[in-house]
Amino acid sequence: MRLYDVDLSSRLLLGTAQYPSPLVLTDAIAAAGCGVITVSLRRETANGGANGFWPLLQATGARILPNTAGCHSAQEAITTAQMAREVFGTNWIKLEVIGNADTLQPDPFALVEAARVLCADGFAVFPYTTEDLIVAERLLDAGCRVLMPWGAPIGSGRGLRHVDALNAMRAHFPSVPLIIDAGIGAPSQAAQAMEMGFDAVLLNTAVAKAGDPVAMGRAFGQAIAAGRAAFEAGLMPPRDMAVPSTPVLGMADLGLGGLR
C-alpha cells in the first residue's frame, strides 16, 4: 500500500489509546503487524513528553500518524496539527474536527477548512470524514490524497453501518486510497471492508479493550490480510437462485422410463 509516496507493508493502522499497560500496547502492535500507529498530541504530552510515551512509540518501529483528536473547530485542529509536527517530526496528520459530542461525527465544514490550510502548509492530511461524496470531493479539492470515511461512530463497534453508501464511495473514487476509520468492532467487520475494496482499516478500541489485546491484534492483522487477498482474487457475485456445483449432464435418469 502506498500513501503519500510512502510504501507500507501492512493495511492495518492501529490506535494507541486505552490499553491496559504500555507492554500490552507494544505487544499488540507487534502481533498485529501494523506499519502505522496513531497517537494524539494530548496523549503524548500527558504521558511525560519526551521521557514517556513518545520513546515507547518510537521503539515499535511503526510509522507515527499524529491526530487532532478532541478538536472541535478548524483553528483548534490547525494549531494542534502544527504542534504535533514539531513534537513528532512528521508532516503526516490524521485530521479530526468533531461536530457532535454524542456521535463524534466530523464537522464537514470545519474539516474542509482545516484540510485546505494544512495541505497548503505542507501536511499530508488523512481526514476523518463520513461517506458523503460531496464532502469527499471538497477534501480532495483542498489537497487531500487519502480519505478516511467512518464505518460507524468512534468506539461503537457496530461495523459498516452504511454499506451501500460506502460501496458508492469506493466506486466513485476508484484511484483514491480509502481507509475505513472508526466503528470496527470485530475482525470479520474489518475483513468485510477489505473485501469491498477499501485500502486499509484504522481501529483502536476493538483491540485495546479486548480480553486479550495481543491476540485480538493478531486476529485483526490476519483478517485484513485475508480480506484483501479475497478482493484481489475476485469474489464471486451473489446470486438470487441456487446453482448446482455438480454438473447434471450425464447423470442417470431414474424416472419411470428407467435408465437412459
User: What strand order describes the sheet that includes 63-67?
Assistant: 148-149, 124-129, 92-95, 63-67, 36-40, 12-15, 200-203, 179-181
Query: Residue 256 has which C-alpha cell?
Result: 419411470
- Residue 98 corresponds to which amino acid? I
Binding residues for 1-deoxy-D-xylulose 5-phosphate: 155, 182-183, 204-205
Which of these is catalytic: 85, 94, 116, 218?
Answer: 94
Query: Residue 176 has which C-alpha cell?
Result: 483514491
Which is it for strands 124-129 and 148-149: parallel, antiparallel or unpaired? parallel
**Helix, strand, coil percent values for the chain (each to nearest 5):** 40, 15, 40
Binding residues: 155, 182-183, 204-205
> Are residues 114 and 121 in contact, defined by beta-carbon separation less than 8 angstroms?
no
- CA 71/CA 215 separation, integer angstroms: 32
How far is residue 39 CA from its own chain's centroid?
A: 14
- CA 150/CA 134 separation, integer angstroms: 15
Residue 94: active-site member: yes
Nearest to 80 by CA among 121, 50, 109: 121
Q: Which residues are catalytic?
A: 94
